[in-house]
Amino acid sequence: MTEPTPRGLDWPGLMRAGMRGLRLHPQQFWALTPAELALMLGVEAGPSAMTRNRLAELSARFPDTPPATDGAHTS
């Protein structure tokens, strides 16, 4: 399986949001950091994206199959 090509940032969309929506001048828009622009647009910081390492860690911690039992039932 091949890895998907990263798409990067939606610069046209960000520019529309900043210059049309927020009415920033180009100089003001390009002077902002991504964090400042996100704050101005009301984008809330959410949890970080799931990584392969984190998925492997969670899969090992919470396997899909139940753990082996000694044959005794507990109810």
pLDDT band with cut points at 50, 70 and 90 for residue 21: very high
pLDDT digits (tens, 9 = 90+) for 27-50: 999 999 988 998 999 887 677 778
Q: 26 with 8: CB under 8 angstroms?
A: no
Where do we find the tokens 């046209």? 12
Task: Count the neighbouring beta carbons within 10 Å of the beta carbon of residue 65.
Answer: 5
Question: What does pTM read for this prediction?
Answer: 0.50
**What was the pLDDT predicted at 30?**
96
Cα separation of 53 and 56, whole Å?
A: 5
Structure tokens at 73: 């039932």
